[in-house]
Amino acid sequence: MKYYIIAGEASGDLHGSNLIKGLKKADPDAAIRCWGGDLMEAAGGTLVKHYKEQSFMGFFEVIMNLNKIFSNIKLCKKDIAAYKPDVIIFIDYSGFNLRIAKWAKPLGYRTFYYISPQVWASRESRMKAIKRDIDEIFVILPFEKDFYEKKHNFPVNFVGHPLLDAISEKPAVDPEFFRKEFKLDDRPVIALLPGSRKQEITNMLEVMINITPEFTKEYQFVIAGAPSQDFAFYEQFLKDTPIAFVNNRTYDLLNISTAALVTSGTATLETALLKVPEVVCYKGNWISYQIAKRIITLKFISLVNLIMDREVVKELIQDEFNEKNLKNELRKILDPKVRERIFADYYELEQRLGGKGASEAAAKLIFEKIS
């Protein structure tokens, strides 16, 4: 079978790569063309466009880059038409993917969504388009099944969360070797995860770095560099600081970390599944935030709290994300009693996600449905 997969950011690249591995196992003759990143290409997909060239965060930023976005949509449609896949698989990235689906479905292409649009968070009106343009959805969060089926009468397939696979398949890091490799000393590590896009890193990292002097006697801070950014971009933040830098080794870093300051996104769930107490941080462009605040109806922004439906990890959003609050919340998650409660919640979180095997389950279902 011929598969066409579209992902638009780092997390989509990760999940897309594991899906590709699953598809090749379910369908040894699978031919896969994709929009994604290095991981999807390494897994065996023929890469058309890298997510680095098409990732824009926030409403204002999207508006400023509309010409580039529409150019990419046109290119994608042309490439699909030339390839003639048996199925198009969309991974999150809803603004782009739903436009492609609207074009593709009337032309007779099978349209499957793996890691569905977050319509439960905002713009629920998009359900009309989803029902019209998407044949099958494979959801990864337990509450999504109820949202689609009970609220909108749209059957979906719950396959579990692929992060459980990604984490379990990662070889264990030798803490001593890792410390020597990156010239870390014996102090406990606090990881800084400022995001993957330049604009969010710029928004987040300066505040994170500014609180470090108060803690450096007892702890060492290490920045987790995103695979989508070169070290040269981070250098401006590292000047005159004793902070270490680790590029594209986030899981290894979290495995030796005592705590973490994490920009909202998939990384908040990864950090929890790796059992690291965290503070969730977010500060966006002012205009984008004002728009988002008016259309997003959720009580929480982190996947950890959304899945648990209560505050497990503290969220510092927009104006609350400041040096004073960040210091206070970091002190709290370094307290043994608080950490004990967090670890218990993390265990419950993992049980709710349904166990390992999400990527293979999704791939097997996809192959069965198009065979």
Host H or E run for residue 142: helix 142-146
Spatial contact of 46 and 32, defined as CB atoms under 8 Å apart: yes
Average pLDDT, the chain: 91
The arithmetic mean of pLDDT across residues 322-346, rounded, is: 98
- Alpha carbons 161 and 166: distance in angstroms, whole number: 10
pLDDT at 284: 73
**168-352: same fold as 2-161+356-370?**
yes
Question: What tens digit of pLDDT does each residue of 48-101 get?
Answer: 999 987 665 555 555 666 677 888 999 999 999 999 999 999 999 998 999 999
- The mean pLDDT value for 286-311 works out to 75
What is the mean predicted confidence (pLDDT) over 171-182? 92
Query: How far apart (Å, rounded) are the C-alpha atoms in residues 301 and 314?
Result: 10
Q: Is 114 helix (H, G, I), strand (E, B) or coil?
A: strand
The distance in angstroms from the start CA to the end CA of the chain is 8
**Side-chain-side CA neighbours of residue 266 (13 Å):** 22
Task: Please report the pLDDT score of residue 301 as a whole number.
Answer: 87
DSSP class of 46? E
> DSSP assignment of 269-320, as one string?
HHHHHTT--EEEEE---HHHHHHHHHHB--S-SSHHHHHHTS-SSEEEEGGG
pTM: 0.80
Give the CA angle between residues 47, 52, 54 to the nearest 5°. 90
Please tell me the CATH code under which domain 2-161+356-370 is placed: 3.40.50.2000
Tokens linked to 289: 């935030």
Amino acid at 268: T
Q: What confidence score (pLDDT) does residue 64 get?
A: 63
Phi, psi of 84 (to 5 degrees): 55, 65
**pLDDT band per the 50, 70, 90 thresholds, residue 297:** low
pLDDT beyond 90 at 279:
yes
pLDDT at 56: 54
- For the four alpha carbons of 167, 172, 178 and 179, in that order, the dihedral sign comes to positive
Q: In whole angstroms, give the CA distance from residue 68 to residue 54.
A: 8
Structure tokens belonging to residue 33? 């063309």
| Mean pLDDT across 179-198 | 94
Q: How confident is the model at residue 193 (pLDDT cuts 50, 70, 90)?
A: very high
Q: Domain residue spans in the chain? A: 2-161+356-370, 168-352
Overall average pLDDT of the 24-38 stretch: 97
Reported CATH class of domain 168-352: alpha beta
Query: In one letter, which amino acid is 12?
Result: G
**C-alpha dihedral over 47, 51, 54, 57, to 10 degrees?**
160
Q: Which among 163, 115, 118 has a CA at the least distance from the CA of 140? A: 115
By C-alpha distance, which of 299, 251, 300 is closest to 276?
251
**How much is the average pLDDT of 227-255?**
92
Share of the chain above pLDDT 70, in %: 93
C-alpha 247/C-alpha 297 separation (Å) is 35
- Read off the pLDDT band of 227 (50, 70, 90): confident
